[in-house]
Chains A and B, each alone.
Chain A
Amino acid sequence: MPSPTSPLPSPGTLRRNQNATSLIYDKNIYRNNKNVSLSSLQFLIMEIVSQYMKNTNNILKIERKLNNLGYSIGLKYLNLISTKNNFINNITSNGKSNTSHRITKLIDFLHFISNDIWLSLFNKSSNGLEKSSDNEFQFMIIDNNPIISSFLSPTQEYNSLSIESFTAGIIEGILDTAYFQCEVSAHRVPIVNYPNKTIYLINLKQ
């Protein structure tokens, strides 16, 4: 008979702990309610940017840091989105998908980024995917109103700073794990009604 101060947890607590951890696996991986507060995300990005600005005044360095931050997200995010997407397409097969596939063609993959990944990251599709006319290894994803930087107005001092380098980093990470080596940079191209129109320039390594 175990003493009251036994170091071993009683079977009851074990079961309870097990329940708590297994709950997350019991949930459907494709949850309908996956909303995150946009404000808290924007405040987080704002705070990251202002922390970087404390350390350096060099715009290129800040953009590089934001890009690196997004890159490590992109590396991991492709796994999650592939799992989810294959699951959605094969709900009847208990999640063990038999038609799951990996996109290996570049154009298909870019379409996948500009639609599916944009949809899961920002809850909308991007506003366009274009191929550069003078360089066959250059592609552009266009977003008229990028969500995470939609209120982060540039100032005169930091006019060329593009906070969307963060998103560019995510794209770069995703493309890199999919074996398309590239560099992605974000450029703000303000037009009428869309002061924050951003072009993500994808430079593939030949």
Chain B
Amino acid sequence: MQIYSLYLISRSGSLLYQRDIDSVGSPITEQNSNDYLVIASNLHGMHAIASKFKPNLSTKEENNFNKSGINMNSNKTGLRCIKTDTFNIFLHQTVTGLKIILITSSDTIESEISSLQNEIYRLYSDYVMKSPFYNLEMPIRIKWFDEVIINTTKKYNIRVNINTNNTNKISTSAK
């Protein structure tokens, strides 16, 4: 699994942060800054539209609540994942409306992705929200945030690579 790129989008849909991560075989090429804004606002819009989609069911079934009181047929999370042959896009909306978007290789492990997304959210609330130099809804230009983001994503890239190597070894020994 490789993580190619990270986007953070504010709740109003503006691009807060974009970073291409140095990874093996990344198909991501550098765009001009305007294109990043276009990508971000497109994903934001698609997420909003997708959250309106839900199966067309009778009212009886629609009122089918589970124990936690959430309507089972609602689509509160919106668009969560786009899968293609060459890459995957994972979107995660936090409770405060911040969107964490990861572009990864196609061989991803979803539990790893969600733990990475949670970690990025934690780093955002520590390093960005606690910075006295940062104004809300403005692009993030914080040196230490850059550094920790690069370190954590690198850690994930390496860790999962080791896992895949291990599985390869097991399969060869089985032969």
Minimum CB–CB distance from B113 to chain A (whole Å) comes to 25
In the complex, what residues of A have CB within 8 A of residue B131's CB? Answer: 46, 151-153, 155
Interface range on chain A: under 10, 10 to 19, 20 to 34, or 35 or more? 10 to 19
Cβ of B35 within 8 Å of any chain A Cβ, yes or no, is: no
In the complex, what residues of A have CB within 8 A of residue B133's CB? Answer: 50, 53, 153-155, 157-158
Interface centre among B126, B127, B144 (most CB of A within 10 A): B144
In the complex, what residues of B have CB within 8 A of residue A43's CB? Answer: 130
Minimum CB–CB distance from B30 to chain A (whole Å) comes to 22
Minimum CB–CB distance from B17 to chain A (whole Å) comes to 14
Partner of A46, one of B132, B141, B143, B145: B132
Shortest Cβ distance from A195 into B: residue: B144
In the complex, what residues of B have CB within 8 A of residue A155's CB? Answer: 131, 133, 141-143
Q: What's the count of A-B pairs with C-beta under 8 Å?
A: 38
Q: How far is the CA of A50 from the CA of B131 in the complex (A)?
A: 9
Shortest Cβ distance from A154 into B: residue: B143
Shortest Cβ distance from A49 into B: residue: B132
Known contacts A46-B131, A50-B132, A53-B132, A153 near B126 by CB under 8 Å: no
Minimum CB–CB distance from A57 to chain B (whole Å) comes to 12
Cβ of B147 within 8 Å of any chain A Cβ, yes or no, is: yes
Cβ of A181 within 8 Å of any chain B Cβ, yes or no, is: no
In the complex, what residues of A have CB within 8 A of residue B144's CB? Answer: 151, 153, 195
In the complex, what residues of A have CB within 8 A of residue B130's CB? Answer: 39, 42-43, 46, 151-152
In the complex, what residues of A have CB within 8 A of residue B126's CB? Answer: 151
Interface centre among A49, A155, A157 (most CB of B within 10 A): A155
Shortest Cβ distance from A153 into B: residue: B144
Q: How far is the CA of A154 from the CA of B142 in the complex (A)?
A: 7
In the complex, what residues of A have CB within 8 A of residue B132's CB? Answer: 46-47, 49-50, 53, 152
Shortest Cβ distance from B130 into A: residue: A151
- Near B by CB (< 8 A), chain A positions 126-165 give 151-155, 157-158
In the complex, what residues of B have CB within 8 A of residue A152's CB? Answer: 130-132
Q: How far is the CA of A199 from the CA of B141 in the complex (A)?
A: 26
Minimum CB–CB distance from B132 to chain A (whole Å) comes to 4
Contacts A47-B132, A151-B144 supplied; 9 other A-B pairs, CB < 8 Å: A39-B130, A46-B130, A53-B133, A154-B133, A154-B143, A155-B131, A155-B141, A155-B142, A195-B144
Instruction: List 28 A-B pairs, Cβ < 8 Å.
Output: A39-B130, A42-B130, A46-B131, A46-B132, A47-B132, A49-B132, A50-B133, A53-B133, A151-B126, A151-B130, A151-B131, A151-B144, A152-B130, A152-B131, A152-B132, A153-B131, A153-B133, A153-B142, A153-B143, A153-B144, A153-B145, A154-B133, A154-B143, A155-B131, A155-B133, A155-B143, A157-B133, A158-B133
Report, nearest first, the 3 A-B pairs whose CB atoms are least far apart: A153-B144, A49-B132, A50-B132
